[in-house]
């Protein structure tokens, strides 16, 4: 039988990967360590996000209060009670 072509390539690749996999040995505690690091990064990411949200909310509130405080204390044209010497609203 002819030992060339895709079947031979597939068999050789399978043997090479099996030999490589036999030489790999995992550290006994690797999963627990990797999971702990992942959880730590996840907690840190959530904490940073919460702090960022709090800072943005605080800044928006302070800017809003500052803008509201910048309004003039005297009434403007919109709140005027007279228009050209006449009262804007009929007297009751």
Domains identified in the chain, total number: 1
In a domain, residue 82? The reply is no
SS3 59: helix
In a domain, residue 4? The reply is no
Question: Cα separation of 8 and 55, whole Å?
Answer: 63
In a domain, residue 54? The reply is yes
Residue 86 backbone dihedrals phi, psi, to 5 degrees: -105, 150
pLDDT, residue 7, reads: 86
pTM over cut 0.75: no
Structural domain including 45 reads: 29-70
pLDDT tens string 7-58: 889 999 999 999 898 888 878 898 899 999 999 999 999 999 999 999 999 9
pLDDT confidence tier of residue 5, bands split at 50, 70 and 90: confident
In a domain, residue 81? The reply is no
pLDDT, residue 49, reads: 98
The b-or-e profile of 26-41 (16+ CB within 10 A means b, else e) is eeeeeeeeeeeeeeee
In a domain, residue 35? The reply is yes
In a domain, residue 37? The reply is yes
Question: Cα separation of 82 and 84, whole Å?
Answer: 6
pLDDT, residue 69, reads: 86
Look at residue 86 and tell me whether its pLDDT is greater than 70.
no
- Quote the tokens at residue 81: 């009670």
């Amino acid at each position: 039988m002819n030992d060339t072509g895709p079947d031979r390539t597939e068999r050789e690749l399978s043997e090479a990967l099996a030999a490589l996999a036999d030489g790999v040995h995992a550290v006994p505690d690797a999963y627990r360590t990797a999971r702990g690091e992942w959880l730590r990064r996840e907690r840190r990411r959530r904490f940073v996000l919460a702090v960022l949200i709090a800072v943005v909310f605080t800044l928006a509130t302070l800017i809003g209060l500052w803008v509201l405080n910048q309004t003039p204390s005297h009434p403007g044209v919109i709140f005027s009670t007279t228009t050209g010497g006449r009262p804007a609203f009929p007297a009751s």
